[in-house]
Amino acid sequence: MFGFLEKKQSASVAKDRLTIAIMSDRNRGDAYPFMDEMKEEIIAVVKKYIGVRAVEIKKEIDGDFEALSIDVLLDKTT
């Protein structure tokens, strides 16, 4: 009667695999073509006030939360 419990149902295998695959797809920078544009704009804004060497944007996914962390590397002279 409980034979169906022995083998994991393929739909739930599909759900697990998809969740992981999609999460890693979304993590790739190129999935969001506006990233480069956004980077340039942030550099332009910060540059108005201080010297900037580079801006790094990282996307982090932690459970249900997605976060963008933006690192602004400043010029040494300022």
Partner 1 sequence: MGIVIAVISGKGGVGKTTAAANLGLGIAQNGKTCALVDFDIGQRNLDMILGLENRVVYDMVQVMDGEATIKQALIKSKVSENLSFLAASQTKDKSVLNSEKVKTLIASLKANFDFVILDSPAGIESGYEHTIEFADAAIVIVNPEVSSIRDADRAIGILDSKSNKVKNGEEVAKYLIINRIVADMVQSGEMLRSEDILEILNIKLLGKVPEDKGVIDASNQGKPVILDKKSIAGQAYTRIAGRLCGEKVDMKDIEISDSGLFKKIAGMFK
* 5 vs 54: CA distance, rounded Å: 54
Smallest distance, partner 1 to C-beta of residue 26, A: 7
Residues within window 17-76 making contact with partner 1, judged by CB under 8 A: 17-19, 21-22, 25-26, 31-34
Interface with partner 1: number of residues (CB under 8 A): 19
Which amino acid makes up residue 47?
K
* 77 vs 55: CA distance, rounded Å: 17
| Selected binder of partner 1 within 3, 12, 49, 63 (CB under 8 A) | 12
* 71 vs 39: CA distance, rounded Å: 10
Footprint of partner 1 on this chain (CB under 8 A)?
A: 1, 4, 9-12, 14-15, 17-19, 21-22, 25-26, 31-34
